[in-house]
Structure 1
Amino acid sequence: MKTPILVSFFILLHSFLYAQQSIVPQKKNYTSYRISNPPKIDGILDDDAWQTNMIATNFTQTIPHNGRKASQKTEVKICYDDDAIYVGAMLFDDNPSGIKHDLGERDSEDDDINSDLFIIELNPHNDNQLLYAFKLSASNVQIDEKVTYSNWDKTWDAIWYSNVTISENGWSAEIKIPFSSLRIPKAENQVWGMHLYRCIKRNEEWVSWNYVNQKEESTVHQAGLLSGISDINPPLRLSFMPYVSFSETHNGNTNNWDSEFKGGMDLKLGLSKSHTLDMILVPDFGQVQSDDEILNLSSVETYYDEKRAFFTEGSELFGKANVFYSRRIGTTPIKYSDVYSNLDENEIVSENPDETQIMNATKISGRNKKGLAIGFLNAITANTNASIKDTISGDSRKFKTQGLTNYNVMVIDKSLKNTNTISFINTNYYETDSDIVSDVFGTDFTFTNKPNSHAIFGKAAMSYVDEGEISLGYYYNLSFNKIKGNFRYALTHKIIDDEYNPNYLGYLDNNNKIVNSFVFEYNIYEPFGHILSMYNNITFSNNYLYNPTKFASFEIDAQSTILFKSNWKTSLYIGGTPVNKYDYNEPRVEGKKFMEPTAAYTGFNIQTDQRRALSISVAADYWGTFEQNKMASNLSLSPLFRINSKMKLELTSAVTFLKNGYTYVGNTSDSDIYFGRYDAKYITNTLEFSHLFNEYISLSLRSRHYWAPINYKQFYLLNEDGTMNNDIPNDIAYNDINYNVFNIDFVFNWQFAPGSYLSLIWKNGISNYSNEIDHNYFGNLNNTWKSNQTNQLAIKLIYYLDWNRLF
């Protein structure tokens, strides 16, 4: 098994080293100029600062016709003083009435906001590693993000100023980006990397100042140059974001009202021109959107995305080697369930917090002029206790579900020539009461050849876990890729041994596996006929159990995604497992396996033009086995209605039908493992409404109902070969499941000053688990609404204080 992999890597390594260099267009260079009187940021380019002949112009298309002259003229001027960099853009348009300028929420996705855009992306270190992107819509909606080789981090928020004006000649934009919002090197004369983009929404035309080759994997290394910035003395980067919040929460289970008044602060301090200290004291994440909870019958823990801004910012550093999962901080206490097995007679659990309280968190990150980046994160959660009440005497006692816990992450990342990088990361977890210690040491690297046509990506880590007994484990993932041109490929080899465990401060679905995959891509970037672009790939995946080495699965998957000139988009896919598949985790007992017969699947999704007042997304797929009559079908429908330029409404309905599914239900010993055959349907309805009063005041409503009824048909004993045996004791039976989740998130948000917000939040949550199924959807929904629920009403004020504006 290993010999073909090594031979393939040597062959591909040869092509990596000897790939012919392609002709790279010379990068454009714009020379910025110093000013003494900053322009008024009103969107009108009549200030003295703009009276110069230094103009960035001659933009070319990136989409749809890569390299062709832009259909509309664009002129940009850039100047600076000791405080900030200023950008003035005139975006000419011969049809100004056609300029799209719908409102949208801050940090909207490009496709979600129906508006023309102007974008400046800056890399002060000019190291081909990171761009700070500042996007401005024709309706003055701000979008900012960090752009790395393969990541667009919208959770990064900067304080910057902007304004726009639509006129008979097109629209103009003025932007002020304080140096305090950037991390700049310490150098007398500076040369930055810079992209300038424009999106003409009605044509879905994207244009750039410096030529960007769509056939290359990344745009970070394709940036032009911004020079002329010299002798700047940026002010002290120090800001405070104190907050106060008040909430009233009604718990339907206890019928109690709880009032809570909280206060805390977020502090940012520039330790140097390149490094920043972030601190939060007694944070409040009450305004974060509720998780989309699901019923999980598998052996794999449900993964939920991080939505807390403090932890999402800096993902380009702290995400190295895939060993850090920030949701572990402030998560469910490790002994949350143990309290119920420690009750004495006549005792009940009166309170059991499902989250640990974060006392404080500190983060240091930045990159110096030599390309060395350092990231440090530390967080501490307080003791967490459940309350147990004696129903006879009325006495109460505490049960500690988690002691004081320290979380620590340290990252070092070095950028090399081209887009090459190498990183080292360590995560550490220590819980004081149980003396549990977990350490994970990882590395992450990217090596590309000079023409940036081929790359080797690698990740590896070792874990050390002391839970009374010490276990050591490791994993590595190597991938050789062709990353440029119409034809691309990726060969990946991954091993995770049976002792590797990063899960105290990371996330891993399952260890003990070997994964080999080969992906072929053929993409068409230039329009032809009615087609704008097309992306095609086929994947071969071969998986094994690591210890002992046993075959697990072989899968083939093919997919084609087409974007039409009408802005409709469709994807078609087909695949299957042509030989029996073996799951070594589902039995929940080491040495056992569950056999899945050969299967095939196919599906499609279609998305209509989202620039229209009404657009629809439709998706459907089917999966079925060639034996045992197992099948699953999915259908989802999502109409989006743009009521006007300020309001939109979207409904997403998805249903999955599963027939003759098999899942682990229990075991009486390591040899007697029981599975259940069941029918199920999973129905999710999500309603989202937003009203933007202007670019500073918004109202959003999100409601979601998830329903999962599980109806067991028969129970089996698991055979040694992974098949089912229906010769089981008559008393083996397990209850059906009826699971409902209903959430409402209502947020009224007012940005009354840059970085300052007043928010009114209402949250409603219902989670209902029973063994009685009402197969009528509306009858079930009515029963769900009658269940105990939690309602929270909160008001929160965040005020941004900048040291330089105060003094």
Structure 2
Amino acid sequence: MFSKKYLLIVALLFSFAIFSQTKKERKTIKTTRVEIAPKIDGIIDEDVWKNAELCKDFVTLRPTNGELVDAKYQTIVRVIYDDNAVYIAAQMLDPDPENIPKEFAVRDNFSQSDFFLVTINPNDDGQNPFEFIVQSTGNQADSKVSNGNEDFNWSAVWESNVSIDEKGWNVEMKIPYRALRFANRPVQSWGFNFHRRLEKLNEQHTWTHIDNTVGRWTQYDGLIEDFRDLKPPTRLNFYPYASATSNTFEGNTNYDWSVGMDIKYGITDNFTLDATLIPDFSQVGFDDVVLNLGPFEQQFTEQRQFFSEGTELFNIGRLFYSRRIGAAPIDQFNVSSSLNNDEEIIDYPEKVTMLNAVKISGRTKNGLGIGFFNAITQKTEATIKNTATNEIRKEVIDPFTNFNILVLDQQFNQNSSISLINTNVTRNGRFRDANVTAL
């Protein structure tokens, strides 16, 4: 009996020692507040960088995992802040700087180029960081991460610049607080990690070791402490628009116009309201033409920014297909098949007009994600003409419709979550409705 107790005590002490060692191994530094912001030119020569604590001793993520990077390819990062933004400077050593790959690409796209990537997680929850990337060409990319999934449809306004010298290449970044979501606390510690891609060696390095066999990569952030007296800024943006068109065909000219507005407002530190009134999607890219010979409908990627940005909560369970909102009329009762012999359709709208849409989403400090979405589309009618009497009548092919989603998503243990989502479509009149709930 004594030996069993002794073994149990030893096992508990051994487990505690391993746990303590794991916690101790987390890389931690303190940041520095500055009064004068550095110039974002890619040249790390300002005095404000000199007293910043260094993030160094990068290790490999792939192809090997956890090995200390060779000194000639090491990376050194500094983090400072002021009342407006977080500033990051990275010096990436390379013994052959003239041959650093620099293939150009458009924003949020990757090419055959080296890149520097930073993840910032103000809540330090191991699941929901913001990601900012600068390639050796100066090209930017950014994403909002949820449960390890990167959403590059999310975009923020931030500054960066790069330079190449005899030691390698350098990056300077300015991340305004408007691009982040954080609590209003006097002293804060944020989760950070830094990644470097070396294209010519086919390697990726990180500041803190990410064990790619256990958990998600977002769980391995280092900690940067001593952010003091940060005030979350008021997040309010208006995007008004107006457009006019003129269409001439066979001597007949038709005019049309529209006005509307998009609004983005930070309700709290972590919750954001997005609204669009009479949206204009005329500048959205066209879909590729696809010949679908299968029994199922062809689903296309969402290209409308309102429906593609900040929708990670609404995509849980894959119940929500946003392209149905403002798509072709459902024509449930097949108007063309119900025409009399002397009737013809003279106008059949190809799409349904969306009147407005609102979404509210965010996540509390305790990891509870809440999402609410609502959109309304206009009644759409086909115009039918009696060829004998010239009488005109209207037939509803898509009724006044309300689309609604409610999502609750509780995250825990840095790697798990439980979600409840309800989607509802309510159509006016005798048209069919739909309601789906998933847990």
Which of 120, 123, 142 is equivalent to 2:121?
Answer: 123
Partner SS state of residue 95, structure 2: coil
- Percent identity of paired positions between Structure 1 and Structure 2: 37
> 3-state SS of the aligned residue for 1:180?
helix
1:404 aligns with 2:400: yes
Aligned match of 1:496: none
Match of 1:311 among 307, 310, 334: 307
Unaligned stretches of 5+ residues in structure 1 = 1-20, 444-807
Determine if contact 2:184/2:231 at 8 Å carries over to the other structure: no
Tell whether 2:346 aligns with 1:350.
Answer: yes
Structure 1 distance, partners of 2:381, 2:421, is 32
3-state secondary structure, aligned to 2:66: coil
Structure 2 residues without counterparts, runs of 5 or longer: 1-17
Q: Distance in 2 between matches of 1:31 and 1:208?
A: 18
Matched with 1:322 is 318
Q: CA deviation at 1:330?
A: 1.2
Match of 1:58 in 2: 57
Amino acid in structure 2 at the alignment position of 1:96: P
The superposition leaves residues 448-467 of structure 1 with CA deviations (integer Å, 9 ceiling, x where unpaired) of: xxxxxxxxxxxxxxxxxxxx
Q: Which residue of 2 aligns with 1:200?
A: 198
> 1: CA distance between counterparts of 2:295 and 2:248?
34
Matched letter for residue 51 of structure 2: T
What displacement does 1:186 show? 3.1
Q: Partner of 2:228 in structure 1?
A: 230
Q: Does 1:38 align with 2:24?
A: no
The SS at the match of 2:337 is: helix
- 1:616-666 CA-partner distances (Å, limit 9, x unpaired): xxxxxxxxxxxxxxxxxxxxxxxxxxxxxxxxxxxxxxxxxxxxxxxxxxx
**What is the alpha-carbon distance in structure 2 between the residues aligned to residue 137 and residue 247 of structure 1?**
40
2:425–2:433 CA contact under 8 A, matched in 1: yes
Report what 1:83 is aligned to.
84
Letter aligned with residue 83 of structure 1: N
User: CA offsets per residue over residues 525-566 of structure 1, 9 Å max, x none?
Assistant: xxxxxxxxxxxxxxxxxxxxxxxxxxxxxxxxxxxxxxxxxx
- Residue type of the partner of 1:263? V
TM superposition shift of 1:260: 4.3
Cα shift readout 1:351-403 (whole Å, capped 9, x = no counterpart): 22222111111111111212122111111111111222344555533221112
How many correspondences in the alignment?
418
Q: Which residue of 2 aligns with 1:700?
A: none
What amino acid does structure 2 have at the position aligned with 1:208? T
Separation in 2, partners of 1:319, 1:96: 43
With over 3 angstroms needed to count, the CA separation of the structure-2 counterparts of 1:39 and 1:150, relative to structure 1, is: closer
> In structure 2, do the counterparts of structure 1 residues 388 and 237 end up closer, same or farther at CA, with 3 Å as the change threshold?
same
Whose RCO is larger (CA < 8 A, sep 6+)? 2
SS at match of 1:203: coil
Write 1 or 2 for the structure with the bigger share of helix.
2
1:725-804 superposed matches below 5 A: none
In the alignment, structure 1 residue 154 sits paired with structure 2 residue 155: no
Partner of 2:165: 167
* Partner SS, residue 344 of structure 1: coil
For 2:35, the aligned partner's letter is: S
Query: Which runs of structure 2 are paired with 1:229-268 in the superposition (5 Å)?
Result: 229-246=227-244, 260-268=256-264
CA distance in 2, matches of 1:329, 1:30: 48
Hey, what's the Cα distance between the residues in 2 that align with 1:352 and 1:129? Answer: 47
Give the alignment partner of residue 285 of structure 2, picking from 266, 289, 298.
289
**CA pair 401-421 structure 1, distance change in 2 beyond 3 A:** same
CA contact (8 A) 1:185 1:368 kept: no
Instruction: Answer whether contact 1:131 1:148 (CA < 8 A) is retained.
Output: yes
Give secondary structure in 1 for the equivalent of 2:38. coil
- Correspondence list, 1:646-795, <5 A: none
Structure 1 residues 52 and 404, CA gap change in structure 2 (3 angstroms)? same
* Residue aligning to 1:701: none
* Superposed displacement of residue 94, structure 1: 1.4
Report the Cα offset of residue 271 of structure 1: 0.6
**Structure 2 Cα separation of the partners of residues 261 and 363 of structure 1:** 26
Could you tell me whether the CA contact under 8 Å between 2:52 and 2:79 is conserved in 1? no
Partner Cα separation in structure 2 for residue 240 and residue 56 of structure 1: 38
CA deviation vs aligned residue, 1:731-775 (integer Å, no higher than 9, x gap): xxxxxxxxxxxxxxxxxxxxxxxxxxxxxxxxxxxxxxxxxxxxx
- Kindly report which structure 2 residues correspond to 1:355-366, keeping only aligned pairs within 5 A, or say none: 355-366=351-362
* 2:148–2:217 contact (8 Å) kept in structure 1: no
Contact kept in structure 2, 1:94 and 1:170, CA below 8 Å: yes
Q: Partner of 1:499 in structure 2?
A: none
Cα distance in 1 for partners of 2:392, 2:280 equals 28
Paired residues of 1:150 and 1:218 also in contact (CA < 8 A) = yes
Q: CA deviation at 1:151?
A: 2.0
Equivalent residue for 1:4? Answer: none
Q: Give matches, 1:10-29, under 5 Å.
A: 24=22, 26-29=25-28
Amino acid across the alignment from 2:97: P
Deviation (angstroms), 1:297: 4.2
Partner in structure 2 of residue 377 of structure 1:
373
Q: Which residues of 2 match residues 517-536 of structure 1 at below 5 A? A: none
Contact conserved, 2:275 with 2:358, CA < 8 A, in 1? yes
Q: Tell me the amino acid that sits aligned with residue 52 of structure 1.
A: N
Specify which structure has the higher proportion of strand: 1
Alignment-derived partner of residue 446 in structure 1: none
Equivalent residue for 2:178, pick from 159, 169, 180: 180
Residue identity opposite 2:65 in structure 1: N
Question: 2:184 touches 2:232 (CA, 8 Å); kept in 1?
Answer: no
Task: State the match for 1:300 in structure 2.
Answer: 296
Would you say the 8 A contact 1:163–1:173 is kept in 2? Answer: yes
TM-score, scaled to structure 1:
0.49
Go from structure 1 to structure 2 and tell me whether the alpha carbon gap of 1:52 and 1:332 turns closer, same or farther (over 3 Å shift): same
Which residue in 2 is equivalent to 1:274? 270
**Alignment partner, residue 11 of structure 2:** none
Cα offset for 1:289?
Answer: 3.0
Contact 1:356 1:382 in 2 (8 A): yes
TM-score (norm 2): 0.88
> Is the aligned partner of 1:74 residue 2:70?
no
Tell me if structure 2 keeps the 8 A contact 1:82–1:234.
no
CA distance in 1, matches of 2:415, 2:319: 22
Relative to 1, partners in 2 of residues 1:426 and 1:257: Cα closer, same or farther, differing over 3 Å? farther
The 5 Å alignment of 1:382-461 reads 382-391=378-387, 394-434=390-430, 436-443=432-439
Secondary structure of the structure 1 residue equivalent to 2:312: helix
Report the Cα distance in structure 2 between the residues aligned to 1:274 and 1:117, rounded to whole angstroms: 29
SS at match of 1:318: coil
In structure 1, the partner of 2:94 is 93
Instruction: Determine the C-alpha separation between the residues in 2 that align with 1:256 and 1:218.
Output: 61
Partner of 1:462: none
8 Å contact kept, 1:183–1:366: no
**Aligned counterparts of 1:168 and 1:246: Cα–Cα separation in 2:** 54
Q: Is the 8 A contact 1:403 1:433 kept in 2?
A: yes
Instruction: Name the CA shift for 1:124/1:377 in 2 (closer, same or farther; >3 Å).
Output: same
- Is the 1:83–1:234 Cα contact (8 Å) retained in structure 2? no
Q: 2:8 maps to what in 1? A: none
CA-based RMSD of the aligned residues comes to 2.5
For residues 379 and 422 of structure 1, the distance between their equivalents in structure 2, rounded to whole angstroms, comes to: 26
AA matched with 2:43? I
Distance 2:91 2:276 in 1: 40
1: CA distance, partners of 2:255 / 2:201:
52
Cα distance in 2 for partners of 1:200, 1:256 equals 60
- State the 1:322 CA deviation: 2.5
Inter-partner Cα distance in structure 2 for 1:263 and 1:307 = 21
How much does 1:278 deviate? 0.7
Q: What does residue 749 of structure 1 align with?
A: none
SS at match of 2:233: coil
